[in-house]
Structure 1
Amino acid sequence: MDTVQRRPQPITVDPVRMTLAALLVVGLGAIGMALVGQFAFGLVPCILCLYQRVPYAVVAGLSALGVLLPLTTTVRRRLVAMAGVVFLVGAAIAFYHVGVEAHWWAAATGCAGTPVGQMTMEQFQAQIFTPQKPCDQVDVRFLGLSLAGWNTIASLVLAVGCLLQSRRLSSGSST
């Protein structure tokens, strides 16, 4: 009885799909860290803190689509580029928050609440029971930067990384 020795087939890794999987981990990880800070360590987010979570959720959603759906490589590469643009928007939001914290510019009205004279009784009661944290109040600094400052840096690095990776993947193949 002849047994034919078969060589194992090499495992092929799709670099575009792996990039999207990494972005999915980044997006979910950032949101998870924010929630741990909020609920485990009692860091109360202001409205700008909450806005800074949105780009990570968008990137996680785009990445999940790219990983789970049977899309072409070209569409997946475009999702990586879109993630880069979303991270640029996230960097702008975070930088705006840094400016509010440093008093470079005034906060949006949602950061400080509505003046009592301009509220209805229902709005006033709602604000009493759910106090809003001012956006210029910094709870945590690490190496001299607030969390918004670190998010500005991280978002810029991620944006550049996504855009460079998208370009690299585009020059590597054409499917």
Structure 2
Amino acid sequence: MTERQLVLLATAGSFVLLAGAFGFQALGYAPCKLCLWQRWPHAAAILFGVLALTILPLRPAAVLGALAALTTGAFGVYHTGVERGWWEGPASCSSSGGGLSGLSAESLLPGSAAVDPVVMCDEVAWQVLGLSMASWNASASFALAVIWFFAATARRPA
């Protein structure tokens, strides 16, 4: 594959993962704070890919795409650890962190516009083959980082 094809493949991969996240949200799986953190690097990777294929030098953009994929992969590993109880997650969305302690009684009343519903980061909303969405995102994102790396280091034809 050429470096342009690799960039296109990696960009499409982040697009599919991000679209999948929004698809699950449309099906009623509300994202937690860590789920949202995992989305931003995919958006950045898509942007780097589009820019690499249009106006930016391909190799530096591919390096940035790889860093974005590694970042979302790292967030996925962190989120997986929170879900499995390997370490504590953010206090604002983890059961063990007392996530509701900073909220006033008024903001917890039904119909209050003060807060959005809290989606717990340490609860698995969906899984397949024993892996949660965070785990699948981490695995796919690290695979995309490899593709980005190959795009950044591909030999140009002489």
User: If the length of structure 2 is used for normalisation, what is the TM-score?
Assistant: 0.83
1:29 maps to amino acid? V
Match 2:132 to one of 146, 160, 163: 146
Write the distance in 2 (CA, Å) between the matches of 1:122 and 1:58: 37
Question: Contact 2:59–2:152 (CA<8 Å) still a contact in 1?
Answer: yes
Distance apart, 1:154 and its partner CA = 0.9
Paired position in structure 2 for 1:28: 15
Distance apart, 1:122 and its partner CA = 7.0
**Any runs of at least 4 consecutive aligned residues in structure 1 with deviations exceeding 6 A, and if so which?**
none
Question: Contact 2:10–2:147 (CA<8 Å) still a contact in 1?
Answer: no
Q: Map residues 1-175 of structure 1 onto 2, 5 A cutoff.
A: 15-39=2-26, 41-69=27-55, 71=56, 75-112=57-94, 113-115=99-101, 118-119=102-103, 124=108, 125=112, 126-127=114-115, 130-167=116-153, 169=154, 171-173=155-157
Question: Contact 1:19–1:80 (CA<8 Å) still a contact in 2?
Answer: no
Paired residue secondary structure (1:48): helix
Distance apart, 1:19 and its partner CA = 2.6
Relative to total residues, which structure has the larger helix share, 1 or 2?
1
Question: Contact 1:111–1:134 (CA<8 Å) still a contact in 2?
Answer: yes
* Higher gyration radius (CA): 1
Write the distance in 2 (CA, Å) between the matches of 1:139 and 1:121: 27
Distance apart, 1:137 and its partner CA = 0.8
Distance apart, 1:55 and its partner CA = 1.1
Paired residue secondary structure (1:44): coil
Paired residue secondary structure (1:111): coil
Q: Deviations over 1:101-141 (max 9, x none)?
A: 001111112314341xx3457755423xx211110111111
Moved more, 140-149 or 76-85: 76-85
What are structure 2's unaligned runs of at least 5 residues? none
User: If the length of structure 1 is used for normalisation, what is the TM-score?
Assistant: 0.76
Write the distance in 2 (CA, Å) between the matches of 1:84 and 1:67: 15
CA 1:25–1:122: 2 relative to 1, 3 Å: farther
Distance apart, 1:27 and its partner CA = 2.1
